[in-house]
Structure 1
Amino acid sequence: MKAYFKPFLAIVIILLVDQILKFWIKLNMSLGQEFKIIGDYAMIHFTENNGMAFGMEFGGEAGKLALTLFRIAAVCGIGYGVVYLIKKKYHRGLIMNLALIFAGAMGNIIDSTFYGLLFGESTYYEAAKFLPAGGGYAGLFHGKVVDMFYLPILQGTYPAWFPFWGGDEFIFFRPVFNVADSAISIGVVMILIYQKRYFKEEKKEEIYTHSEMIEE
């Protein structure tokens, strides 16, 4: 059971932080409201999206339902993967990073699945109400994902000679995201960076097993 403790703890902490922050944002901020953390470079900016991570969209009500159901199927697969890797004693870093991806996916699934039932509509004039008398703003599986971190680290204008976007304003980093998105991104990036280390022992084991079979 020790092997399960740290990944499980990481999942619980990420989900708690993600959902507590989202609940606070929904109940205390109106859409578009923001306050600065580090000047103009880091701020809390409340927005919602119907689609994927970092505010990307996925077409209409049918697309929204399909995306939510796909997320649920994907998170079930990722959860199975975490358990499988633990049982097979894969590299602890790989297990932990997959746990981060699982927690992030789960965090956004909670929004998509239940927030439409739990909250009233957030508007540009007032915060949402929890369990409003008239019911929530949407049905099951049609909730919106709450985003709040905005990091416009670099802002400026493309020079006139720049292809396609000459004279246009640019902002880096433009997407607004949440704790769940961050967990997914960190997990994916870490797996890509350390994939050779994570799968090195597994390859050695495969080579050793193959050699034994040849000798027999």
Structure 2
Amino acid sequence: MSKKVNCPFNKFTRAIGKFFHNPKPYLKRFFFSFVWLAILMFIIDIVTKHVIMKNMSLNQEISLIPNFLTIHYVQNSGMAFGLDIKPGLTNTIFFIAISVIGAGVLIFITARYWKRIKSLPRAALMLMISGTIGNLIDRSFYINYAAAPVDGHYPHYVVDWIGVGNFARFNIADSCLTVGALILIVYLFVMEILEDARKRKAAKMPASDESIKKGVSLDETQIVDVQVEPVIEAKEEPKPVEKKKTTSTKKKTKTSNE
């Protein structure tokens, strides 16, 4: 008897067959995973940076809304939102390491607690992962050879092109990081308030009502041992049968005989 070998290709084909047979649950699961959001924002970030670099010269500025919104192509060798730090090999390695660690931590948290994470914080984490990886790509591969080398090395940079008023220039990846972090912070803050309100309400509620409302049974330590005597129906005792007085009859018979 030859044993059946579980081939990974067979599992893959079966999964594909199940998907085409009934794609609705798979598409629903994929939608609420928000992986598509991370992929979409990553692609938009990379494409917009490429278009800006190919069609604009460095430091060129195009006004979209006067005195408010501009497209301003700059090369940022520092931190996010144009925060300037002296470029150099040490800082470049530091920023790349921070990006790698940040992306790794976010991916680990998302994968480790995937089933326990709600939809909104999951979307926020996906945005943060997308933004971290987007800027990591820039810092790893974009090198400014036109600039003067610092400590014998040309500076790496991130492409920033969005300008809002006098605020520092940023890109789509920075926006994803900021929006995702804000959503996560607000969500955790609101959930903490709701949890605190629930605890206060539970503290004011009587123990019996609380247990009934939560649907939680009492612990064995909370159960009072009450001995209940069995109820026995009282049976009516039969009345004693009165003995007939035979003495009088005997006397009468004696007198009659005499």
Shared fold (TM-score, shorter chain, > 0.5):
yes
Secondary structure, in 3 states, of the residue corresponding to 2:84?
coil
Give the corresponding residue for 1:98.
Answer: 125
The answer as to whether partners of 1:93 and 1:198 remain within 8 angstroms in 2 is no
Write the distance in 2 (CA, Å) between the matches of 1:71 and 1:58.
16
Write the distance in 1 (CA, Å) between the matches of 2:77 and 2:139.
8
The answer as to whether partners of 1:45 and 1:149 remain within 8 angstroms in 2 is yes
Of the three residues 174, 187, 195, the one matched with 1:194 is 187
The alignment's TM-score, normalised by the length of structure 2, stands at 0.58
Please say if 1:73 is aligned against 2:101: yes
Which structure has the higher relative contact order (CA within 8 Å, separation 6+)? 1
Secondary structure, in 3 states, of the residue corresponding to 2:59?
coil
Write the distance in 1 (CA, Å) between the matches of 2:145 and 2:195.
50
The alignment's TM-score, normalised by the length of structure 1, stands at 0.68
Please say if 1:40 is aligned against 2:33: no
| Structure 1 residues without counterparts, runs of 5 or longer | 123-137, 153-170, 205-210
The answer as to whether partners of 1:104 and 1:179 remain within 8 angstroms in 2 is yes
Write the distance in 2 (CA, Å) between the matches of 1:146 and 1:53.
10
Write the distance in 2 (CA, Å) between the matches of 1:19 and 1:12.
11
Of the three residues 93, 104, 110, the one matched with 2:137 is 110
Give the corresponding residue for 2:9.
Answer: none
Secondary structure, in 3 states, of the residue corresponding to 1:146?
strand
Letter in 1 for 2:79: M
Cα RMSD after superposing both structures: 3.1
Write the distance in 1 (CA, Å) between the matches of 2:141 and 2:113.
30
Q: CA deviation at 1:4?
A: 4.9
Of the three residues 107, 110, 113, the one matched with 1:85 is 113
Secondary structure, in 3 states, of the residue corresponding to 2:117?
coil
Distance 1:78 1:20, change over 3 A: same
| Structure 2 residues without counterparts, runs of 5 or longer | 1-25, 148-152, 199-215, 222-258
Q: CA deviation at 1:186?
A: 0.5
* Structure with the largest fraction of strand: 1
Between Structure 1 and Structure 2, whose CA radius of gyration is higher?
2
Secondary structure, in 3 states, of the residue corresponding to 2:72?
strand
Please say if 1:62 is aligned against 2:64: no
Distance 1:58 1:200, change over 3 A: same
Q: CA deviation at 1:193?
A: 1.7
Give the corresponding residue for 2:54.
Answer: 27
Write the distance in 2 (CA, Å) between the matches of 1:37 and 1:29.
15
Write the distance in 2 (CA, Å) between the matches of 1:194 and 1:76.
22
Write the distance in 1 (CA, Å) between the matches of 2:97 and 2:157.
14
Q: CA deviation at 1:3?
A: 4.3
How many residues end up aligned between the 2 structures? Answer: 171
Letter in 1 for 2:156: G
Letter in 2 for 1:71: S
Write the distance in 2 (CA, Å) between the matches of 1:32 and 1:17.
21
Distance 1:93 1:144, change over 3 A: same
Q: CA deviation at 1:110?
A: 0.5
Secondary structure, in 3 states, of the residue corresponding to 2:156?
coil
Give the corresponding residue for 2:160.
Answer: 147
Give the corresponding residue for 1:208.
Answer: none
